[in-house]
Amino acid sequence: MRQRDARVFALTGATGFLGSHLMDALIRKGRSPMILGRRREGMSLADRVAALLAWFDVEDRGALVETAEVDLLEPRLGLERHQYDALCGKVSEIIHCASDTRFSERSRREATESNVHALPGIIRLAKDSRARYFHYVSTAYVSGPGPAPEAPIVSRTFSNVYEETKAEAERQVAARCSLQATPFTIVRPSIVYGDSVTGRSNRFNALHYHVRALGLIRDIYLNDISQRGGRKSREIDIHLDADGILHLPLRIFLVRRGHVNLIPVDYFVAVMLSVLESPRSGRIYHITSDAPRTTEELAAYCERFLGIRGIEMVYGEGPNGGVQNPPEEIFNKLVRPYLPYLSDTRSFDRTNTKSLATGFSAPDLTYDVFERCMRYAVRADWGNGNGKRDAGVSGASDRGEREKEETENGSVERSSIGRNHSYENRGAEKGMRRHR
Amino acid sequence: MVTKVDEALSIAGNCRHYAMCKVDFLGTGVCASGIERGYVSFYPEGRMDLYAALAKGKVPVTEKCVEIAQSCDLCGKCDYQCCFVTGLRPTRVMEALKSHVARHLAAGKPVAQADADPFLQSIRRIVGDEWATNDRAIAVTYSHDPSPLAVPALPRYVIMPGTRQEISSLLKLLGSAGIPWVVRGNGTNLMGFELCEGAVIDLNRMKEIEFDEKSWSVRVGPGVAAFELQREAAQRGYRVNVAEPAALVCGTMMCAGIVSLFSTAYGSCADNYIDAEFVHTDGSFFSLNKKNAPSLFAFDRAGAASPGVCSSLRVKRRPMTGDESGALVPFDSLEKAVDFSRDCAMRRIGLAIGILGPEYLSSFMSPTQRTAVEVKDALARKLGIVCMVLVLGDRYAMASLKEMGHPMIGQDLFKVLSLGLPSLGTADWLEFIAGLPEEEPFGYLKGGGFTDLAEAALCPSASRLVRDFDPDLRPLYEEIYSRPDLTDLVWLNMFRITSSRIGREKQFFPFLMYLPLDHTLIDDVCTGLGSIALRYALKNDLGFITPVDGGKRCVLEYDYFLTRTTEMKWTGYGRPRLRPAPR
């Protein structure tokens, strides 16, 4: 008889997009994740996790989940000695999913804190708990330009602060784990969207965000046409065609032809579970698509879904000071930080990932999958709380949330440790909470 | 069920005494009987107070009460004026007042005669029979101030002198009889200083405005309101630094100095006038330019007696160039806004500078309270604007401002936003814009396309802007909002006709102080005042901060908003010892 897997996975970033899906998958497999995180905006970690369990429809398995409010930047994760010791006694593997995903230079300090400075504490936990493995969720884009092997980073060229800090984090994970003899893996997903089968998502970033932005621009001009006879629309040749499609001339300026490497979250989860099932220390796994869509294909998806036409890719040096119409100006500002990912020509080596299971490939992002995901987003009002919003869903446009969704190492109030817990009063286990 | 009496009392109770019904700020005219009879009792503000007093049985129907009620022809001008800034419809109170008095007369009930008073006859010999009274219907309209700190007092006499000689004779007479007196402006004073049990002297008849082209000054009488003077000055191509439109120029200049956003360039207090003439409390005359004149700058912590009554003021006129414009610079922190405004002031960029909080901005811009709430939410929550710095200046100042490189809302975009306010609250695209991954907060404002995009999205129009008003008011308001002035940052700040909207929801109580223009200190002060307000569950917000003295100091206004829950009442006519009414 096969013995039940009793490993307890300590999981950071569980209130973010990837982490929450991973938490759900672990629970469904009967595992007992220990969620490490913090309270936010007056909501305890336990309550935040409970909302997510409801969204995943697994609240009945809440008893499997424990939470501990921690501060990754503090010694002993901000816990009292006895709390920390109790935590160490429980954890058998660690999945570090928390991350600050902001790109902008002005977020450098926060990104460095979250992605780099928070590492020693959580890696130290791996040592103190004698964890069997430390799994680090990175990004496929740390590899920099050129071929992307499933190997330690060589490149020192990065597109933004996010890539740079994640690359530094990978180096530290490898160095620190090796030093303390903790086996580790690094997984590198590309850009993740919703569930390819159900279309569901509890975050509406990246792909969703761009589609929503185009939808909002469309609505602005449809409004102008219906309310004021298209006074502003006419100035830039926006009009309704005879077939009811909105003609919306919008050039997107890209440096070169390329593709966008997108994977659905269900694929990310499947690969992660396989990694957890049979990890190989020091291995790096690319969770990417072998058949990335071109920007033109994605633009066509958007046009079809939104009922617009007129999106055009312009390759080269950008507008070069030429006049852009207002939608172009705004949309290209939106796109600017993502340009490296829209004109990607990299091919990601997937040898290690494919070795996990035969035929392990990301599902194709067909129009059907795209439409399913976007329809779900529309029903959920893009997480704005105006539509059929599910508990635990956050809007892509929630101010300050969009790019910082998975950060879990902020400066949690020390006094919050130990509060709001309903876990049996076992003294040393104060600060942790088991969901019931 | 809300009765007409209840409704009228509610409207009357919400009059803030800002006296906007006494100045023709919309160009729709002012209550004719008010202009003719002078007493505030004949203006909508006073009639509302009178009705409230009658309905609550505080005063009987008197001869003057009948005259006040019957002199209202229900022309509706007060609705145009009052609703524009406060959302109130005073005409409903006027109807109730007329109806109350008509029923009283129809029932054959007595009309109270004013008490026979030999001293009143002495006063009337100075100012004329028409301009002094002890009629309680008039007195009651001079008896209270909505400010929570003001203690009501029913005056024995209300007097309206027409010349400084009459003021002189009056002060001698009142002094010899030991009757206390106060001089009243247009009816609101934070401390209730315009209230008195003796005589209230109302100077509203003294409305002289004499321009002296050679000395770049204008001599104004003590009854001239800020709007009236600014309008006259603007017609001649000048500007004056004055307070809120209905504030009397002499009164505010002498009591509070003049603090406006223009104080950055024009200074405050004595920076704005050349001379002031006074009637001393003993009836003699003096001017501030005389060597032996009292110093208005002497400061006595214990409080000094008033040196007399300001009977005229020679105000400096300021030049206007034809190229003035304005811009609002948004900030995501007060610290950055303070530093920016200091930078502008030190470099002498701009005529007027002010850091404005979202409450201030949204209240001023929004025609209705509902819109104000939505606009504040859009500015603060959706766009993440903590405050904006308003800068007015000529084209060179505007060019410098642009060169400083901050994202800003220029005049064109301000017009779009002003007329597109109704769509702002429901604009999903705002959050998308705010979430643009810019290296600089509000960087989206830098592109030329944002104004066009906003125009397409908001569909700005005067007719949509006024749709929340009652249908009978909409055509006029649409015409008013279609005027360029109403979306012109320079005009709006010169005339400040929407400033009294700050008290539209609740009575507001401002704290004004001079402080070093230091962001740490300012943040401490705001945090401290905010925490005190929170302790008492008071709505509160930063009002404005204006740099003065070349950016070394500033004038800061922090506002509390409150509702008076305890009604004050007198214990007897003529001896109005007041105490809170039992709950």
Can you tell me the mean pLDDT for B176-182?
95
Q: Do A220 and B456 touch (CB under 8 A)?
A: yes
Give which of A109, A211, A223 to mutate to test B binding, by max B Cβ within 10 Å.
Answer: A223
Q: Do B443 and A333 touch (CB under 8 A)?
A: yes
Q: Which residue of A220, A236, A398 is in closest CB contact with B429? A: A220
* Helix ranges (DSSP H) in B405-518: 411-419, 421-424, 429-434, 449-458, 462-465, 474-481, 489-495
Give B447's contacts in chain A (Cβ within 8 Å). 326, 329-330, 333
Q: Which residue of B436, B438, B457 is in closest CB contact with A220? A: B457
Q: Which residue of A104, A221, A395 is in closest CB contact with B437? A: A104
CB A36 within 8 A of CB A19: no
Any idea where the domains of chain A sit in the sequence? 9-189+406-434, 194-261+292-346+364-398
Of the pLDDT bands very low, low, confident and very high (cuts 50, 70, 90), residue B567 is low
Q: Average model confidence (pLDDT) for chain A?
A: 86
Nearest CA in chain B to A217: B429
Q: Which pLDDT score is estimated for B144?
A: 87
Interface contact B377, partner A, CB < 8 A: no
Of the pLDDT bands very low, low, confident and very high (cuts 50, 70, 90), residue A358 is low
pLDDT above 60 (res A420):
no
Interface contact B456, partner A, CB < 8 A: yes
CATH fold of B209-319: 3.30.465
Which residue, A109, A125, A118, is CA-closest to A169?
A118
Q: Do A216 and B432 touch (CB under 8 A)?
A: yes
Q: Which pLDDT score is estimated for A433?
A: 53
Give B459's contacts in chain A (Cβ within 8 Å). 223-224, 227-228
Interface contact B438, partner A, CB < 8 A: yes
Give B450's contacts in chain A (Cβ within 8 Å). 326, 329-330
Q: Which pLDDT score is estimated for B564?
A: 64
Least confident interval from A401-415, B222-236, B328-342, B501-515: A401-415
pLDDT above 70 (res B161):
yes
Q: Which residue of A104, A327, A399 is in closest CB contact with B434? A: A399
The DSSP secondary-structure symbol of B151 reads P
Helix (H) or strand (E) holding B65: helix B63-71
Q: Which pLDDT score is estimated for B299?
A: 66
Nearest CA in chain A to B433: A330
Q: Are strands B285-287 and B273-280 parallel, antiparallel or unpaired?
A: antiparallel
Nearest CA in chain B to A326: B449
Q: How far is A361 from chain B (nearest CA, A)?
A: 32
Half-sphere exposure of B338 (CA within 13 A, CB side): 20
pLDDT tens per residue across span A126-178: 999 999 999 999 999 998 888 899 999 988 889 999 999 999 999 999 999 99
Give which of A102, A161, A162, A220 to mutate to test B binding, by max B Cβ within 10 Å.
Answer: A220
Give B431's contacts in chain A (Cβ within 8 Å). 384, 395, 397-399
Q: Which residue of A103, A324, A397 is in closest CB contact with B449? A: A324
Q: How far is A218 from chain B (nearest CA, A)?
A: 10
Secondary structure of chain A in HEC code, one letter for each residue: CCCCCCCCEEEECCCCHHHHHHHHHHHHCCCCCEEEECCECCECHHHHHHHHHHHCCCHHHHHHCEEEECCCCCHHHHCCHHHHHHHHHHCCEEEECCECCCCCHHHHHHHHHHHHHCHHHHHHHHHHCCCCEEEEECCHHHHCCCCECCCCCCCCCCCCHHHHHHHHHHHHHHHHHHHCCCCEEEEEECEEECCCCCCCCCCCCHHHHHHHHHHHHHHHHHHHHHHHCCHHHHHCCCEECCCCCEEEEEEEEECCCCEECEEEHHHHHHHHHHHHHCCCCCEEEEECCCCCEEHHHHHHHHHHHHCEEEEEEEECCCCCCCCCCHHHHHHHHHHHHHHHHHCECCCECCHHHHHHCCCCCCCCCCHHHHHHHHHHHHHCHHHCCCCCCCCCCCCCCCCCCCCCCECCCCCCCHHHCCCCCCCCCCCCCCCEEECC
Q: Which pLDDT score is estimated for A23?
A: 97
CB atoms within 10 A of CB B117: 15
Q: Do B439 and A105 touch (CB under 8 A)?
A: yes
A interface with B, Cβ–Cβ below 8 Å: 103-106, 209, 212-213, 216-217, 219-221, 223-224, 227-228, 232-233, 235-236, 324-330, 333-334, 336-337, 384, 395-399, 402-403
What CATH code would you report for B325-562?
A: 3.40.462
Q: Which residue of A103, A233, A330 is in closest CB contact with B444? A: A330
Q: Do A333 and B452 touch (CB under 8 A)?
A: no
Q: Which pLDDT score is estimated for B182?
A: 92
Q: Average model confidence (pLDDT) for chain B?
A: 91
Q: Do B439 and A327 touch (CB under 8 A)?
A: no
Can you tell me the mean pLDDT for B161-167?
98
Q: Which pLDDT score is estimated for A5?
A: 60
**Residue with more model confidence, B192 or B106:** B106
Give B385's contacts in chain A (Cβ within 8 Å). none
pLDDT above 90 (res B488):
yes
Can you tell me the mean pLDDT for A63-80?
95
Of the pLDDT bands very low, low, confident and very high (cuts 50, 70, 90), residue A202 is very high
Task: For chains A and B, count residue pairs whose Cβ atoms are closer than 8 Å.
Answer: 87
Nearest CA in chain B to A236: B452
Of the pLDDT bands very low, low, confident and very high (cuts 50, 70, 90), residue B440 is confident
pLDDT tens per residue across span A34-51: 999 999 878 999 999 999
Give which of A107, A224, A330 to mutate to test B binding, by max B Cβ within 10 Å.
Answer: A330
Least confident interval from A386-400, B12-26, B172-186: A386-400
pLDDT above 90 (res B270):
no
Give B448's contacts in chain A (Cβ within 8 Å). 329
Nearest CA in chain B to A402: B435
**Residue with more model confidence, A280 or B114:** A280
Q: How far is B438 from chain A (nearest CA, A)?
A: 7
Nearest CA in chain A to B457: A220
Contacts of B259 (CB under 8 A, 6+ apart): B243, B268, B512, B546, B555, B557
Which residue, B254, B308, B310, B305, is CA-closest to B280?
B308
Q: How far is A103 from chain B (nearest CA, A)?
A: 8
**In degrees rounded to 5, what are phi and psi of residue B510?**
-90, 145
Interface contact B333, partner A, CB < 8 A: no
Q: Do A232 and B456 touch (CB under 8 A)?
A: yes
Q: Do B456 and A223 touch (CB under 8 A)?
A: yes
Q: Which residue of B437, B439, B453 is in closest CB contact with A326? A: B453
Interface contact B448, partner A, CB < 8 A: yes
CATH number belonging to the domain at A9-189+406-434, selected among 3.40.50.1980, 3.40.50.300, 3.40.50.170, 3.40.50.720: 3.40.50.720
ipTM of the complex in this document:
0.77
Q: Which pLDDT score is estimated for A411?
A: 31
Can you tell me the mean pLDDT for A314-321?
80
Q: Which residue of A105, A329, A399 is in closest CB contact with B435? A: A399
Of the pLDDT bands very low, low, confident and very high (cuts 50, 70, 90), residue B160 is very high
pLDDT tens per residue across span B18-41: 999 999 999 999 999 999 999 999
pTM of the shown model = 0.84
Same fold, B209-319 and B325-562: no
Can you tell me the mean pLDDT for B384-405?
96
Contacts of B563 (CB under 8 A, 6+ apart): B506, B507
Nearest CA in chain A to B384: A399
Nearest CA in chain B to A385: B428
pLDDT above 50 (res B445):
yes
Any idea where the domains of chain B sit in the sequence? 4-106, 209-319, 325-562
The Cα diameter of chain B in Å comes to 79
Give A396's contacts in chain B (Cβ within 8 Å). 435
Can you tell me the mean pLDDT for B469-479?
97
Q: Which pLDDT score is estimated for B573?
A: 36
Q: Which residue of A104, A220, A384 is in closest CB contact with B439? A: A104
| Percent of chain B's residues with pLDDT above 70 | 94
Q: Do A220 and B444 touch (CB under 8 A)?
A: no
Give which of A103, A222, A232, A234 to mutate to test B binding, by max B Cβ within 10 Å.
Answer: A232
pLDDT tens per residue across span A203-245: 998 899 999 999 999 999 999 999 899 999 999 999 999 999 9
Q: How far is B419 from chain A (nearest CA, A)?
A: 14
Q: Do B456 and A233 touch (CB under 8 A)?
A: yes
